[in-house]
Chains A and B, each alone.
Chain A
Amino acid sequence: MKVSLFATCLVDLFQSNVGKATVELLEKLGCEIDFPESQVCCGQPSYNSGYVKESKEAMKRMIETFEDAEYVVSPSGSCAYMFHEYQTIFKNDPNWEHRAKELAEKTYELTEFIVDVLKVEDVGARFEGNVTYHTSCHMTRLLGVKKAPIILLNNVNGLRMTELPGKEKCCGFGGTFSVKMAQISEQMVDEKVSHIEETEADYLIGADAGCLMNIGGRIERKGKPIKVLHIAEVLNSR
């Protein structure tokens, strides 16, 4: 199966290890990976801040970039959701509406792709440790991917999962919210970190680079001995 990777700018710039793990994992599952070079940012930061016009050019580039792809897979629920949102953004735009819809229909978040398209529930991973999982808001509520990551993690050998209290609560990232409303964001991420501590997990796992950067950044600043991992890294470990 041919998969075009939509790596996201956060992964490209700051978390290349997540991108690597995604590629290796999908290859192990028999996919052929392609990384379209002209991919940029999906436009979410500016779009969510209200700069719709300014964001549209980036979106159009992304639509063009992935036009020939069979499947588009992204290791970030929020960014994958953004591709779905293009349909709404370009609604009634005769040149782009159809193309946006096509992109949305073939775009999947990584774990959703593995479970729903590849029909794999056990990727054969082995990971020793006590973990807890952060369910990102855009991925669960907007994209509607709730079960896939849990199914995959539950089948990882050696992994001991404790459910995160208040798991449905936002971590306080919210893109530009994290800097625009920093004082509120701080309170939100602090509550998230204390919930993570309650689980006594050694690892926090997530499927969204933005949330992980936020929670991880706070954990590190507070000097807590909790490691933050992207789900691709866990599923790729043997």
Chain B
Amino acid sequence: MPMKIGSDEFKNRVDKGIRDSFMRSAVASAQDGIGQRRQAAADELGNWEEWRSHGEEIRQHVLAHLDYYLELLSENVARRGGHVFFAQTKEEANEYIREVALKKKAKKIVKSKSMVTEEIHLNAVLENAGCTVVETDLGEYILQVDDHEPPSHIIAPALHKNKEQVQEVFTKKLGYKKSSKPEELAWHAREMLREEYLTADIGITGCNFAVAETGSICLVTNEGNADLVTALPKTLITVMGMERIVPTFEEMDVLVSLLTRSAVGQKLTSYITVFTGPRAEMEADGPEDFHLVILDNGRSNILGGEFQSILQCIRCAACVNACPVYRHVGGHSYGSIYSGPIGAVLSPLLGGYDDYKELPYASTLCGACTEVCPVKIPLHQLLHKHREVIVEREGKAPISEKLAMKAFGIGAASPGLYKIGSKIAPTAMNPFTVGDKISSGPGPLKAWTEFREFPAPNKERFRDWFKNRAKVDHE
């Protein structure tokens, strides 16, 4: 599987998540803090809904004309002296990048944060080819130093770790001797990484947006690591999901604005880098050689179908930060590098239902994700659509559930059956009823009553009351 992490069953992962009290409080405060900042940044504009609609129309237009824009992008990158490799699979992408590394005799590679390279497990491929791969985003760096722990959040990958844990990792692996203050930890990382940038042979980045008209790549960070990754090594490789493209700088403006406000509540992040091809003549910094790898890896299968709108995603993680389920289970519970609502929709599409069939059910369909999405992806509807596909096309629902739902469907559709069933309910529930509640129910009620009371059916149904009342009135 492309972006799979770990081999635990879903239920076990969730249990583990729920028991991790530090992670849960970190996630809760991140959700509350980022959520408030996001809301303030949206409200401040006064016409956020218009912004969202604009974001949506841009993304929909691009997806509908994706082949055209990718062709234009590749022409413009080539015209500026860059190489473009279209990779239909992760294997093709990894192999191409490996060959570039071998050809350049690269020993050290610095990377700025990229979900798509996580998706294709690029680091492992390069390490097997004998390269040292250094993640430069502070969060990713911490995870990498800690034996390649997977990220738990799209924009705050090390969210699940507290500063003492980071201190311990740095002490053990990097000979760090100072305190657990975030400032001191970050400074240590700065010193370690500065040397890496200056001595790296290749820089690898992801891509926030590619600009078709000019062949430019736009990268958004707060740390400035993408600037150094794109400025210092002689060879630069950018890996992009094929849908991350805009027509011109003017649409880039809108999507960058939506991204930074939705992701972190900032008007713009500290560094936004828009580079085009390798360095120009006589320039002393920037790459001499530039490669753009455009990745499909299952995305084209989503095009043209009922899930196409998920490709509108700009990876801001606003849905993750709004999700009440993510809040309690954390990122690793999703078993995929893409967590939260976006992960629950995207992972089954890219990785298949066998591994990710539970994810669409890990939602109350509360719609919080849909409400915050800056490009108006109907996330909760897509989660529902997955359930429909799992039940009706994939046939992957449990048989007991199928039977129950079938019975429910017949019962609910038949006023006569419904009436009889609802009438005998109090009697049927009698053995389980104490007073006016059921504390330990049978069947599906068992899961309910493990931690909640369930009301006993009314002795007199509402409909009986209404009928009797009418009779009394008329008499």
Contact = CB atoms under 8 A, between A and B. Distances in A.
A237 interface: no
A57 B392 CA distance: 16
A37 B415 contact: yes
A213 B460 contact: no
B18 A137 contact: no
Interface in B453-472: 453-458, 460-463, 465-467
B184 interface: no
B461 A16 contact: yes
Contacts of A53: 392
B413 A170 contact: no
A234 B347 CA distance: 45
B388 A137 contact: no
B364 A137 contact: yes
A12 B391 CA distance: 29
Contacts of A31: none
B414 interface: yes
A54 B414 CA distance: 12
B371 A141 contact: yes
A61 B391 contact: no
B422 A180 contact: no
Given A13-B422, A19-B462, A49-B387, A55 B455 contact: no
A19 B466 contact: yes
Given A12-B462, A174-B365, A174-B366, A184 B412 contact: no
A184 B405 contact: no
B406 interface: yes
Interface string A160-192: 000000001110111111111111111111010
Interface string B384-399: 1011111110000100
A45 B447 CA distance: 16
A61 B413 contact: yes
Chain A interface SS verdict (over half): helix
Interface string B8-42: 00010011001000000000000000000000000
Contact of A11 (B386, B388, B439, B462): B462
A186 B452 CA distance: 8
Contacts of A181: 14, 325, 361-362
A185 B364 CA distance: 9
A184 B366 contact: no
A88 to B, nearest CB: 9
Contact of B458 (A15, A45, A50): A15
Interface in A183-221: 183-189, 191, 213-214, 216-218, 220-221
Interface in A1-55: 7, 9, 11-16, 19-20, 23, 35, 37-41, 43, 45-46, 48-55
A58 B324 contact: no
A101 interface: no
Chain B interface SS verdict (over half): helix
A84 interface: no
Nearest to B457: A13
A138 B367 CA distance: 8
A141 B461 contact: no
B406 A54 contact: yes
A213 to B, nearest CB: 6
A60 interface: yes
B425 A38 contact: no
Contacts of A19: 462, 465-466
A141 B370 contact: yes
Contacts of B261: none
A170 B366 contact: yes
B444 interface: yes
B448 interface: yes
Contacts of B367: 137-138, 141-142
A12 B465 CA distance: 10
Interface size class of A (residues with CB under 8 A): 35 or more
A178 B448 contact: yes
Contacts of B364: 137, 170, 172-175, 177, 185, 188
Contact of A221 (B391, B415, B445, B452): B452
A45 B458 CA distance: 20
B408 A46 contact: yes
Contact of B451 (A35, A50, A141, A218): A218
B411 to A, nearest CB: 8
B462 A170 contact: no
B33 to A, nearest CB: 13
Contacts of B455: 14-15, 213, 216-217
B266 interface: no
A187 B18 contact: yes
Interface centre among A13, A19, A65, A168 (most CB of B within 10 A): A13
Given A54-B405, A188-B324, A23 B415 contact: no
Contacts of B61: none
A52 B448 contact: no
Contacts of A40: 411-415, 418
Interface string B317-340: 000000011011100000000000
B365 A49 contact: no
Contacts of A170: 324, 364, 366, 368
B378 to A, nearest CB: 10
Contacts of B413: 40, 57-58, 60-61
B450 interface: yes
A119 B422 CA distance: 36
Contact of A189 (B384, B444, B452, B454): B452
B164 interface: no
Given A35-B467, A213-B454, 6 more contacts: A35-B463, A46-B408, A52-B392, A169-B368, A177-B363, A180-B361
The 7 A-B residue pairs with the shortest CB-CB distance, nearest first, are A174-B364, A50-B387, A217-B452, A54-B409, A57-B413, A19-B462, A137-B366
7 contacts: A9-B412, A16-B458, A40-B415, A57-B413, A174-B363, A177-B363, A188-B324
